Amino acid sequence: MTQSKGKYYITTPIYYPSSNLHVGHTYCTVMADAAARFKRLLGYDVRFLTGTDEHGQKIQKIALEEGITPKEHVDKIVGGIIDLWTTMEISYDDFIRTTEDRHMRRVQEIFRRIYEKGDIYKGEYEGWYCTPCESFWTDTQLSDGKCPDCGRPVEKAQESAYFFRLSAYADRLLSLFDETPEFLEPETRRNEMIGFIKQGLEDLCISRSSFDWGIKVPIDEGQVIYVWLDALSNYVTALGYPEVDGTDGEADLYRKYWPADVHLVGKEIVRFHSIIWPAMLMSMGEPLPKKVLGHGWLLLDGGKMSKSKGNVVDPVKLIERYGVDALKYFLLREYTFGQDGLFTNEALLGRLNADLANDLGNLLSRTAGMSEKFQAGKIAKPDMDGEIGASVDAELKRIAAGTAAKVEAFIEEFAFNRALEEIWALIGRSNKYIDETAPWTVAKDDSKKARLNEILYNLAEVLRIVSILIQPFMHHSSEEIRKQLGLESREIFWEDASVFGKEDGYETVKGAALFPRLNIAEELEALGNINPEADDAV
């Protein structure tokens, strides 16, 4: 085991279990998973948290419509979410549900602490009330001045509620963005947040009395805690906070892992994570997360993929057809962090065929195939370095040994597409190397046996390096490559990806193709039924 390089705590948002998740949600979780796996490979002590945000009026309403209790509703959906992450082999260390007792009692304690600090006061919440829906709405939530849910008229109404003195933290928040610019990225989001604070921060209403599906305000049983205060707290309650003396073994986790290294969130919830959450932590007297990273949305046919619009792509169907590695690769390779990106069936199939079946798949099958055909699977470490083919070999070796450092730098910035581009540049260079060196011709000349072995050794070394580089993103493919190289039982170390010429030799075992070549027309037709909305018709 590599010595720990320190701790790394990464979180995804906790998802609303209003209905099943779609491929847009999996995008965020796949990125967090790739970062977590990468940091583990580097030797960090990683904690990766995800979960579900189960309270609030919306969930209560859906359950009511279904004729079941909110708890019955969320249990059903959360079961499906956990199954999805299992299918996608998401390597989280903890899954927090906001309906768990460990979370609820800790949120009440957080509320109490902020209250005792003097940052919570009782006041009047003014909004628009829809009587049939029993819902409060703000000015901006209304649709054409009517209830956004049922379209009926609303009335001005007041309810007494608790408020958090968010306004008192405006200056400290501005200093945070100013002094620690890396706290929030990308920069466009930071500028938006600075603008937002400068317009003037109002105190935040943090309790509701018009519905009861939530955590009770500890000092007033007639109110439930606002769902965002409840939800944001998950990042610390899952570590045992504030029970730092420990009642159930989680206490030490807070000391060990907080502050979070990265909160990965979608762009529309950056505001909650970079304004409300830091202000809460400031009030609690706790350290702030090191970074909030806001990613863009996956769009379908020009609009945001969303459950409420019904234009969603089901990740499970894609995995059933193409496998986990293919979906993860596509999500990480296709989109640029921070920007929105269009999901189309064409783009998906194009990448699967060109990058996976052709580039990576061919490199492995050609190498393992030639090794079997010409050398009965045995490749020795060559000692003829610098002889025939030196310059073409030298270039390949230089690129192969230099890729890991570039990949590492790009992953640190969450630029997964650039990281994968670098790995595929190495794969592309290696396929070209096969064409340039033409091993099948070399094999015809008995006097060139050593050179043939050397070419195959270089290719096996590239594949060994590739198997390490892709491990955080596509661990099945990594394992399959290692199996065919005869390295199956060996532990993987990231450092070995920068060393060319590491292995003493190989005993290759030709296996199945990594990715089948797809018939695009046929697949488009099949996907047209699965994802009709993702047909390329923007």
Q: Which residues bind ligand MSP (CB under 6 A)?
A: 13-16, 24-25, 27-28, 53, 231-232, 234, 265-266, 268-269, 297-298, 304-306
Q: Please, which residues have CB within 8 angstroms of residue 338's CB and are 6 or more apart in sequence?
A: 185, 186, 188, 189, 267, 294, 295, 296
- Which is nearer to ligand MSP, 184 or 265 (by Cβ)? 265
- Asked if residue 401 lies in contact with residue 469, where contact means CB atoms within 8 angstroms, the answer is no
- Which is nearer to ligand MSP, 304 or 351 (by Cβ)? 304
Backbone angles phi, psi at 453, to 5 degrees: -60, -40
- Minimum distance between the CB of residue 11 and ligand MSP, rounded to whole angstroms? 8
352-388 residues labelled b (16+ CB within 10 A) or e (exposed) = bbebbbbbbbbbbbbbbebbeebbebebeebeeeeee
- Minimum distance between the CB of residue 97 and ligand MSP, rounded to whole angstroms? 12
- Minimum distance between the CB of residue 221 and ligand MSP, rounded to whole angstroms? 25
Rounded CA separation 189/195 (Å): 10
- Minimum distance between the CB of residue 232 and ligand MSP, rounded to whole angstroms? 5
- Minimum distance between the CB of residue 184 and ligand MSP, rounded to whole angstroms? 15
Q: What is the dihedral of CA 294, 300, 304, 305, to 10 degrees?
A: -90
Backbone angles phi, psi at 350, to 5 degrees: -60, -45
Q: Which amino acid is at 239?
A: L
Q: Please, which residues have CB within 8 angstroms of residue 113's CB and are 6 or more apart in sequence?
A: 242, 283, 284
- Which is nearer to ligand MSP, 31 or 487 (by Cβ)? 31
Rounded CA separation 218/195 (Å): 35
- Nearest CA to 98 out of 49, 149, 138, 27 is that of 49
- Which is nearer to ligand MSP, 29 or 437 (by Cβ)? 29
With CB atoms as reference, the residue minimizing the distance to ligand MSP is 266
- Which is nearer to ligand MSP, 77 or 147 (by Cβ)? 77
- Which is nearer to ligand MSP, 107 or 426 (by Cβ)? 107
- Minimum distance between the CB of residue 18 and ligand MSP, rounded to whole angstroms? 7
- Which is nearer to ligand MSP, 313 or 497 (by Cβ)? 313
- Minimum distance between the CB of residue 410 and ligand MSP, rounded to whole angstroms? 20
- Minimum distance between the CB of residue 392 and ligand MSP, rounded to whole angstroms? 43
- Which is nearer to ligand MSP, 325 or 533 (by Cβ)? 533
Q: What sign does the CA torsion over 489, 491, 495, 497 have?
A: positive
